């Protein structure tokens, strides 16, 4: 029975962390811009799945604590790492409530994260960073068996906050640095076909002069292949090619004159 509960506990943690990392990567690719309708639907489905995984994590974790206390009631609750894990998961749960009621409505809004005010933008980023760091650290505590009964509570929490604070600072710096770039800086240029680029050079990413040069270079080889039609003069007449002597031409004319007089 205990093995089955540990398996459910592990599966819930893996599902939550996997979906969280995928959604964090998808949000990072948007660079603070507004989300599409499909991205909003995927984010909402991911939030519901992570919420169910968190509930399963709490239920299975409490069952494991009850079983562990029943097996070793004198020393089980003296494990300082156990209480540190409860603290991290408690922070994770409270932060998840803030995510659902404060951050998600602003992330899926038409303004996007970059369109929010400075305070709202900072709070949205902080809730996201706290969620990522807390989930990853809670999973690490689940496998950090050498820390059982060997480290105290303050050590574990010091490690946690030493990871959380730099991550929060880096996230805030990154999200506020996006305002120094124009809104269309990170957008991919629209792909146009070659005829559209010729008809609308102003909407094409290349300069108009470069577009004209490209068109001329593409047309020039076709013009070279077309040979101009050569002019063939008409062949000379047979009478023009044969040059008769003057005496023969005179005789012929006299004969023609006699025949005309007879008639």
Of 33 and 8, more confident = 8
pLDDT digits (tens, 9 = 90+) for 16-28: 999 989 888 888 7
pLDDT digits (tens, 9 = 90+) for 116-159: 888 888 898 999 999 999 999 999 998 999 999 999 999 999 99
125 within some domain: yes
- Phi, psi at 167, each rounded to 5°: -65, -40
For the chain, what is the domain count? 1
235 within some domain: no
Give the domain extent around 15: 2-180
CA distance 224 to 245: 51
Helix (H, G, I), strand (E, B) or coil at 254: helix
Instruction: Please state the pTM of the whole predicted model.
Output: 0.65
pLDDT of residue 73: 87
- Percentage above 70 pLDDT, the chain: 67
pLDDT of residue 107: 84
115 within some domain: yes
pLDDT band for 218, please (50, 70, 90 cuts). Answer: low
pLDDT of residue 197: 46
Q: How many CA atoms lie within 13 A of 150 on its CB side?
A: 5
pLDDT of residue 88: 95
Contact 5, 64 (CB under 8 A): yes
251 within some domain: no
157 within some domain: yes
94 within some domain: yes
Helix (H, G, I), strand (E, B) or coil at 36: coil
Residue 108 has pLDDT above 90, yes or no: no
260 within some domain: no
Residue 194 has pLDDT above 60, yes or no: no
pLDDT of residue 219: 57
pLDDT of residue 259: 64
198 within some domain: no
Average model confidence (pLDDT) across the chain: 78
pLDDT digits (tens, 9 = 90+) for 34-87: 788 888 888 888 889 999 999 999 999 999 999 999 998 888 889 999 999 999
pLDDT of residue 25: 85
pLDDT of residue 4: 92
Residue 186 has pLDDT above 50, yes or no: no
pLDDT of residue 192: 47
């Amino acid at each position: 029975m205990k093995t089955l509960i540990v398996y459910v506990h592990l599966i819930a943690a893996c599902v939550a962390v996997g979906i969280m990392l995928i959604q964090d990567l998808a949000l990072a690719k948007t660079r603070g811009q507004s989300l599409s309708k499909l991205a909003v639907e995927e984010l909402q489905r991911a939030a519901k799945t992570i919420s169910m995984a968190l509930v399963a994590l709490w239920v299975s974790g409490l069952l494991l604590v009850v079983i562990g206390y029943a097996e070793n009631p004198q020393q089980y609750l003296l494990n300082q790492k156990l209480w540190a894990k409860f603290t991290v998961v408690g922070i994770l749960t409270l932060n998840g409530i803030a995510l659902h009621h404060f951050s998600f409505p602003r992330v899926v809004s038409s303004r996007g994260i970059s369109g929010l005010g400075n305070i709202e933008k900072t709070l949205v980023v902080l809730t996201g960073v706290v969620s990522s760091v807390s989930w990853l650290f809670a999973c690490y505590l689940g496998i950090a068996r050498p820390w059982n009964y060997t480290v105290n509570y303050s050590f574990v929490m010091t490690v946690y906050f030493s990871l959380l604070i730099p991550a929060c600072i880096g996230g805030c710096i990154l999200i506020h640095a996006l305002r120094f770039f124009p809104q269309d800086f990170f957008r991919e240029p629209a792909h146009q076909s070659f005829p559209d680029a010729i008809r609308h050079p102003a909407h094409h990413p290349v300069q108009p002069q470069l577009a004209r040069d490209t068109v001329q270079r593409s047309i020039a080889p076709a013009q070279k292949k077309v040979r101009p039609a050569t002019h063939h003069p008409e062949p000379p007449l047979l009478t023009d090619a044969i040059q008769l002597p003057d005496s023969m031409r005179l005789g012929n004319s006299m004969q023609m004159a006699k025949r005309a007089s007879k008639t």
